[in-house]
Amino acid sequence: MTTKTMTPTLDAVSPDRRPRRLRRTESIRTLVRETVVRPEDLIYPLFVVPNTRPKVEIGSMPGVWQLRVREVVDEARRAYDLGIRALLLFGLPEYKDGIGSASWDPAGPVQSAIEAIKRAVPQITVMADVCLCEYTDHGHCGVIVDHNGTKDVDNDQTLPLLAKQAVSFAAAGADFVAPSDMMDGRVAAIREALDDASLTDVGIMAYSAKYASGFYGPFREAAESAPQFGDRRSYQMDPANVREALREMELDVEEGADMIMVKPALSYLDVIRAARDNFDLPVAAYNVSGEYSMVKAAAERGWIDGPRVMNEILTSIKRAGADLIITYHALEFAEKQG
């Protein structure tokens, strides 16, 4: 009598082990890793104060400082040596007024820092944030007018001031200006002003989808730019909207932006993906102060592994589609890569 032998299927013998075989060692995981963040992908934000003020660590942002020009130059050297290729500068002026006139002072802290960095580290790309909030005594991003007893930012009166600020930064040597104010038409106004000043090589990285977010609190301490009344919801975007973000991006592209940006990053990964899927320009994402401070605070209490979470967050932002990531983690990340 002959017994018929059944040939077992693969499923009957064992599950398919291919996924786990590709995770078995760090060397293998590195070999097949789909998304890799490099120091060259990062933009390092810095806060510049007048030389009459001391260097001060920002209480809500451990490891981030308000720096004088010579200290900003030192940070630029460190960053470049670690592989970071771009900086984003924010300025704290000597004085503030209703229109932010200190922002276009050729001897202002940002202008002075740009000139000094370009002398010391000419290879690094220098970007300058364009907005009035750090320079106005009311803390809003434009000219305040009274509409029937309600104070609000006047869009059209603000545009020429933003353009004036952008030209001042560009004339000092900035490679890119980065309008963050969310006024309608500001990219076109700045592009026209730069071209009229024969600064046609200076690019625009537009904060195209900047949301009215609760994650900005530590930044407002760092930049000393908290609004003195009301909030910024009448000109920054509603966190609930994605289609509106795409319209904002499209307008900025049409007006001449060279890069578009989503801010914040971590709660808006879907918006970053939508930007990547719909536009061919480089997409930047801002890993903002609140996102940074939450990691630092939780790590300080031993609740999370700070460096591991930092890597995970930056990877998620790049995986969502960002080409460039503005992050306060930049120096720490680059040091650990080295």
Active site residue 4: no
The DSSP result for 216-245, as a single string, is GHHHHHHHT---SSS-STTTSBPTT-SHHH
Q: Look up residue 199 and give its amino acid.
A: L
Long-range contacts at 200-204 (CB < 8 A, ≥ 24 apart)? 202/170, 202/174, 202/175, 202/176, 202/177, 203/175, 203/176, 203/177, 203/258, 203/259, 204/176, 204/177, 204/178, 204/179, 204/256, 204/257, 204/258, 204/259
Q: Which of 256, 261, 118 is nearest to 193 (CA)?
A: 256
Active site residue 118: no
| Locus of tokens 């963040």 | 37
Q: Which of 118, 164, 263, 296 is catalytic?
A: 263
Q: Which of 74, 228, 71 is nearest to 141 (CA)?
A: 228
Count other C-beta atoms under 10 Å from residue 27's C-beta: 7
Sign of the CA dihedral running 332, 266, 187, 49: negative
Residue 147, classed as helix, strand or coil, is strand
* Cα–Cα dist 82/221, whole Å: 28
Q: Which of 96, 118, 210, 296 is catalytic?
A: 210
The DSSP result for 95-134, as a single string, is --BTT-GGGG-TTSHHHHHHHHHHHH-TTSEEEEEE-STT
Spell out the residues 6+ positions from residue 221 whose beta carbon is closer than 8 angstroms to its own.
58, 59, 60, 61
Active site residues: 210, 263
